Amino acid sequence: MSEINQMPREEGLDHSATLMREGYMYIPNRRKSFQSDVFETRLLGQKAICMGGKQAAELFYDRDKFKRSGAAPKRVRQTLFGEKGVQTLDGKAHFHRKEMFMSLMSEEGIQRFVEMNRDNWQNAVDSWIDKGEVVLYEEVKKLLCKSACRWAGVPLSDEEVDKRTDELSSLFESPAAIGPEHWVGRHGRNQTEKWIGELIKQVREGKLLTEEQMALHVISQHKDHEGQLLDTEVAAVEVVNILRPIVAIAIYINFTALALHQFPEQKEKLASGGNEYLQMFVQEVRRFYPFFPFAAARVKKDFTWKNYTFEKETLTLLDLYGTNHDPDLWDNPDVFNPERFKEKSDFLKYSLIPQGGGGYYDGHRCPGEWITIEAMKVCTDFLNNRIVYNIPDQDLSYSLVKMPSIPKSKFKIKHISWK
Ligand code: HEM
């Protein structure tokens, strides 16, 4: 029989404050100092396991070993996720709900998104030309809010764009916040769920006609694994689970613009490299820059792994950022090098995990990965091939502590014109 070892353990009563202080580097720093891909600590007043790397990701996405119910902290459910959404489900209920999300991500569905998003970029650029200087992050959030609503079949008047963009953004700009920012996020969640809840009622009563393939329609009519329509509140949470993250792609768009600025040699390669290079560039932006630091689950039942005990119900965090920068998986992980994806299949199931890992249907991997990648490609095409702009002096540094991280100045550009 193999012996049971004590997992490397961070001593002390609670390390939640350290996690907030070290942000994206909290888990990678300890993986390095313990020389171990797994360690025990205490977070949110309870024992927690943190782990990272390819093998740990394989373990984390094993549905027999981990579950999601009870994993997301309350303040995250009150802002980012909402209550009773797909993120919190397990087993049959999860599989069935996830199938619904995946049905929206057909090739035709993604193509429809790309075309709507291109239209919105075209109109946005036309409006920026007259403005002189714009803050790219703020402009792109509005543009993506329009694309998200149009794609999902959610009516949005021109007058509403600013308000709805602000509410949806507050959900992903606030989840780790305490104090006033957290309350802005909670207010945003109440407002968006009220707005979308009304629309769901109207669709169900036949007062609002939506095309059948649109997310608002699909989610309004979706029946759960027991054949019941979703409660209005839960259906609203799921529609927001489409709108919110599409607006959040603005963060990756900011990092895409930053990559073009920080690594100007990429511009020529992109201009001549066709779709193949574009795909590698976008994958490298997703690997290189920070977004979600980790994903959370709970141990489903007692088991041992590498001679360490995992006790039922233990909160477990998988290091997403650190795995994307793991020197065992990536040569020179801190060098921006899209060409690394030439040798590697670009959808590495357990090592390129900015949007989670594993399978889509049988796990919690992000169903929005294709939309994200395509939205980043459209943006790269506009910024690199279709428009010219100047970049005024500004603070483009980004933090590895504040979550989510966004370049400080949110990327100002000026003197914008078509090429
Ligand atoms: C902005 C870029 C995005 C990032 C960085 C991102 C990241 C993630 C991550 C880390 C997860 C959790 C994985 C896990 O728990 O194991 C996730 C799940 C999810 N994402 Fe995304 N995502 C993005 C865009 C999108 C888009 C565009 C959509 C929808 C159109 C979307 C919808 C979802 C949903 C519904 C889930 C829950 C899946 C489940 O629990 O089964 N995301 N995403």
CATH of the domain at 178: 1.10.630.10
Residue 5 lies in a domain: no
Residue minimizing CA distance to atom 31 of ligand 1: 368
Q: Which residues line ligand 1 (CB under 6 A)?
A: 86-87, 98, 101, 241-242, 245-246, 248-249, 252, 291-292, 295, 320, 354-356, 364-368, 371-372
Give me the pLDDT at residue 387, please.
Answer: 97
For residue 231, pLDDT over 80 is answered with yes
Atom of ligand 1 nearest to the CA of 357: 16
Residue 260 lies in a domain: yes
**By the 8 A CB rule, do 408 and 418 touch?**
no
Residue 169 lies in a domain: yes
Q: How far apart are CA 402 and CA 180, in angstroms?
A: 16
Question: Residue range 264-292: average pLDDT?
Answer: 96
Percent of the chain predicted with pLDDT > 90: 91
For residue 179, pLDDT over 90 is answered with no
For residue 346, pLDDT over 70 is answered with no
For residue 225, pLDDT over 60 is answered with yes
E-state strands within 15-143: 38-43, 46-51, 66-67, 133-135
Render pLDDT for 283-328 as a digit per residue (tens, 0 to 9).
999 999 999 999 999 999 999 999 999 999 999 999 999 999 999 9
Q: Which phi and psi angles does 232 have, rounded to 5°?
A: -55, -40
**By the 8 A CB rule, do 342 and 280 touch?**
yes
Which of 80, 98, 239, 366 is the pocket-test mutation for ligand 1 (most atoms within 8 Å of CB)?
366
Contacts of 410 (CB under 8 A, 6+ apart): 135, 136, 137, 138, 254
Contacts of 343 (CB under 8 A, 6+ apart): none
Q: How far apart are CA 353 and CA 358, in angstroms?
A: 9
Residue 268 lies in a domain: yes
For residue 151, pLDDT over 70 is answered with yes
Distance 296 CA to ligand 1 centre (A): 13
Distance 251 CA to ligand 1 centre (A): 14
* Tokens describing residue 383: 């910024």
Question: Residue range 347-354: average pLDDT?
Answer: 90
Atom of ligand 1 nearest to the CA of 318: 16
Residue 11 lies in a domain: no
Domain count across the chain? 1
Residue minimizing CA distance to atom 4 of ligand 1: 355
Q: Domain limits at 222?
A: 16-418
Q: How far apart are CA 320 and CA 327, in angstroms?
A: 14
Residue 1 lies in a domain: no
Atom of ligand 1 nearest to the CA of 363: 41
Atom of ligand 1 nearest to the CA of 61: 16
Render pLDDT for 106-126 as a digit per residue (tens, 0 to 9).
999 999 999 999 999 999 999
Residue 73 lies in a domain: yes
Residue minimizing CA distance to atom 36 of ligand 1: 366
Residue 75 lies in a domain: yes
Question: Residue range 147-156: average pLDDT?
Answer: 98
